[in-house]
Structure 1
């Protein structure tokens, strides 16, 4: 029997929706809208849980969803016609961005109701989650409490909330469960003829600020595969131009990490000989040694990975496994004329993962001065796996310690010189003072 709202001619808004938001920074959101007893409950099932819907309300033509994202409040206001929606995504103080979407066909996402997907998520973590102690969480109890709640869930959104809550209870970074549906024709936010995509912003950029100071910006360590060589070439050009400067500033603010590949090249430019960049431990390494924490590992006995750059980011996990589940990564060496001047590193609370490891390595092994704010404290090496059609689990597969044995996960890299991280000019002045060169 139709609900009262349907009887009044209002559209059916419940279900799983793929929503595309246009604008300067477009994104795609998988949104679940549950309806029980006339109450709408929205949940974001993608975007690595960075969008948090708080409420949903019907309108005569569709619905309005309130959400928090990127430290701001937003609203999705759309009209629903059958299995499509169209409207706007608005943010206070900004012009609304066009939004459109489609109701996802059932075959694009395996149902979360029941326990099949839940059991798959639990199974992956019990085999591969790096820490047998689950970061201090009572894993067996958490699973036992969550399983009947998933079994009783009336919708994907309701089950998703339980699974996501289970993962959050572990209290670790790099642990996300997200929807990645495959549909042949994604929603479009425009009726105009599509234009060619804009060229992507390079990850590496640089500037000679003065005869005494250079500036190297690394926005991401993500480049790998075919996208890596151009960024390596840009890094090589940067150091060729700044080779004779007495000091340089390396800006890692907002750099959320990525692979070791570009970081390896950076190390070659800054270290004449390979230095210990840190060691990784996987679940196999814990189990084989009967350890409950990586701190119990005797680093003198940790085998070294090859220093010739043959261990790429894609191969790192396999190389650590082959080394017995724990291995030390060395970075540097291989270039005739590495840069020998003084270094400062700019960081903020969004400097994460591999970028934190680079900041720590330069601080420990190169005497770099870290300027800005404490980093994110999210340094674990992760892996992705499809646990069911349309559902991806990212999980931390390796723990990490710096060459000096520091654990960055949950703590981050503390700055040597605290400074407002958003004020580039102030940061550069503070860095120049720490490097004993005139400010730019």
Structure 2
């Protein structure tokens, strides 16, 4: 079974850095169709009542939460409003990894592509949209837009902090008014078309001794061959920075693949605590059902890295970068590397959304993500709700432009230079 760990609310495109791969507005399946709502709700209810599990969480109260949400659900006129109403109810469980995705969101995740102009933007203080990344070969890049350009208007209307005017159907045009870094203003006519949302892993040499590998996801688009190639190229570096900022998580098996190149001897790095383990611990060890650390220590079913025959385990100094959008599998990776590979964590506290979950069909193109088990690190820590606290705090740049001064990377490099202080050699 391919367990997946994904962030709270499938939220990789929310928060301080909005990754606005502007998608087309698809046909709504809930548009004034109560029968579709009823079918989706029935499917969700069956899944939650039968399968959802987190130690200490009472999923039996779902009918009550659903009843409280009924007015908003009934009033929802389209997929987005319906999703919002359902997710508000699901959020009352107080746990991560329980969320409904619309058909459009599900399709983007499944195919790795969407329709739009291909930009990532951040909101400026005056409500304009600063382009921080253009997708290779997408309409914006092909038209000559670059990071540092600012969108002020879409089709003659001020954007006012919203991408609504940029969204549209495949084949339609949008006129963007853009102010360049030199304050020159130009208009661009862009035709919305399909483009890939996949962002390949990247290797950057910070200096002759320090390599940085950026892993943007552990989900479908995680490329094992590419990661192995980058790790082999970085193996000669004295210092390695693993950048997991904005990595919302993904599949456990991809996490285990990456850790196999960084943790020696396939050392266990944690334990998944599901319904069966809790039941066994109470019955066989006479333990308490809320003693998660105790049952994780007692269990003989540990999570381990996958040994890698293609890449030797890295033996230099290691730092891992995280922020508030590092979620789930990325959080497990950071904690595991600190515990088992002597890595230093740099950045800001991670999301604290660390549960094993499944993503399954909820009918009519909707998908429901629900939790199956909790996770405890090898040191006995529960990351859900608490996150990974960095050893050294450093804030991301205000705007994530390619050439922006990056305090997080700078602090990691400074640690490496401190000869045995801060960043720590893995020593094997």
* TM bracket (short chain): 0.5 to 0.7
In the other structure, the counterpart of 2:413 is: 432
Q: Kindly indicate whether structure 1 or structure 2 has the higher relative contact order, using CA contacts under 8 Å at least 6 residues apart.
A: 2
Q: Distance in 1 between matches of 2:252 and 2:65?
A: 38
Aligned-pair distance for 1:120? 3.6
- The alpha-carbon distance between structure 1 residues 267 and 109, as it changes in their structure 2 partners (threshold 3 A), is farther
Q: Deviations over 1:203-243 (max 9, x none)?
A: 321122222211111111114xxx55xx3222222232222
Q: Deviations over 1:146-193 (max 9, x none)?
A: 33763996444587665433311111111112332799xx98243479
Q: Deviations over 1:342-399 (max 9, x none)?
A: 1011111111110110000011111111111010111111112223333321111121
Aligned residue for 2:368, secondary structure, equals: strand
Q: Distance in 1 between matches of 2:202 and 2:384?
A: 28
- Contact 1:221–1:258 (CA under 8 A) maintained in structure 2: yes
- Contact 1:118–1:150 (CA under 8 A) maintained in structure 2: no
In the other structure, the counterpart of 2:159 is: none
- Contact 1:352–1:375 (CA under 8 A) maintained in structure 2: yes
Question: CA RMSD, aligned part only?
Answer: 3.9
In the other structure, the counterpart of 1:175 is: 98
Q: Unaligned regions of 5+ residues in structure 1, if any?
A: 1-46, 52-67, 74-90, 92-96, 304-326
User: Structure 1 residue aligned with 2:209, among 200, 209, 212?
Assistant: 212
- The alpha-carbon distance between structure 1 residues 201 and 49, as it changes in their structure 2 partners (threshold 3 A), is closer
In the other structure, the counterpart of 1:254 is: 246
User: Structure 2 residue aligned with 1:329, among 286, 299, 303?
Assistant: 303
- The alpha-carbon distance between structure 1 residues 189 and 108, as it changes in their structure 2 partners (threshold 3 A), is farther
In the other structure, the counterpart of 1:112 is: 37
Q: TM-score when scaled to structure 1?
A: 0.62
Q: Distance in 2 between matches of 1:354 and 1:162?
A: 27
1:122 and 2:13 correspond: no
Q: Unaligned regions of 5+ residues in structure 2, if any?
A: 1-7, 108-114, 116-167, 174-189, 283-287, 398-403, 420-428
Q: Distance in 1 between matches of 2:9 and 2:385?
A: 18
Q: Give the 5 Å matches for 1:28-177.
A: 48=9, 70=15, 102=27, 104=29, 110-112=35-37, 117-131=40-54, 133-134=56-57, 139-140=59-60, 143-144=63-64, 146-147=66-67, 150=70, 154-157=74-77, 163-177=86-100
- The alpha-carbon distance between structure 1 residues 175 and 420, as it changes in their structure 2 partners (threshold 3 A), is same
Aligned-pair distance for 1:265? 2.9
Q: Give the 5 Å matches for 1:196-235.
A: 197-198=194-195, 201-223=198-220, 231-235=223-227
Aligned-pair distance for 1:332? 5.2
Q: Give the 5 Å matches for 1:346-365.
A: 346-365=321-340
Relative to its length, the structure with more strand (as a share) is 1
